[in-house]
Amino acid sequence: MWIFLYRTKYGLEIRCVGENPKALDVKGLSVGWRQCLAIMFGSLISALAVLMLGCSDRFVPDLIARRGWLVVVAIIAGNWMPFRVVGAIFIFALLEAVAIHAQVVGVSIPHHFFLILPYAASLVLLAGLRSRTHQPEALGVPYSRKRSRVRLREAWPDFCLSSARPGILCEGLRRAGVAIRGASGFPNHFTSGCRPAD
């Protein structure tokens, strides 16, 4: 996963969707499509993990037991970096194993204490790393492209009138406006502010 995210072009695009989707849009790539692909891939990995748990011999009802929230905490504690996230998950897995083995061995401490260890550790991690984590800038923010209508009169007032050769310049701008209107549906007033000088 680290190689995909940090060493491939597609991984860079996925990271760019979270950090700066406008840069990806300016490049001409679909932000929404890459967001959908990332969500589908994450859901597929989660489904495979649950499938592996379901195929084990230790299947019991409520097998997941809301451990998905621990994964969210591990991602935040790992600062959205794959190796750090794996380290945080190992800590939670170790605490879960301690809770299971403490019940088997028969420690005199009530077993409820061991059951809350992973969740207590998650609270401690979130409180301790609150100021040091840096989440992606566009995390959870839907991306929408705002198409602005450009009027030459508002953008460059009297640009054509003050030009040395206004007729040639305005004709070129008019042709460019016609080409843009034909390609992307700009309104007819795109070049209405540009007129040749008398």
Q: CB–CB of 146/22 below 8 Å?
A: no
Residue range 102-140, pLDDT digits in tens: 877 777 788 788 888 888 888 888 887 777 778 888 888
Q: CB–CB of 86/78 below 8 Å?
A: yes
Which residues touch 96 (CB under 8 Å, ≥6 apart)? 117, 118
Which pTM does this prediction carry? 0.61
Q: CB–CB of 143/25 below 8 Å?
A: yes
Question: Structural domain boundaries of the chain?
Answer: 1-60, 65-139, 152-191
Q: CB–CB of 24/143 below 8 Å?
A: no
Structure confidence at residue 158 as a pLDDT band (50, 70, 90):
very low
Residue range 159-189, pLDDT digits in tens: 444 444 445 555 555 555 544 444 444 444 4
| Cα of 108 vs its chain's centroid, Å | 46
| Residue 154 tokens, joined | 């508002």
**Rounded to whole angstroms, how far apart are CA atoms 92 and 78?**
12
| Residue 90 tokens, joined | 């190992």
* Location of structure tokens 């992307």: 184
**Rounded to whole angstroms, how far apart are CA atoms 131 and 150?**
42
Which residues touch 116 (CB under 8 Å, ≥6 apart)? none
Q: How many CA atoms, within 13 angstroms, populate the side-chain half-sphere of residue 134?
A: 2
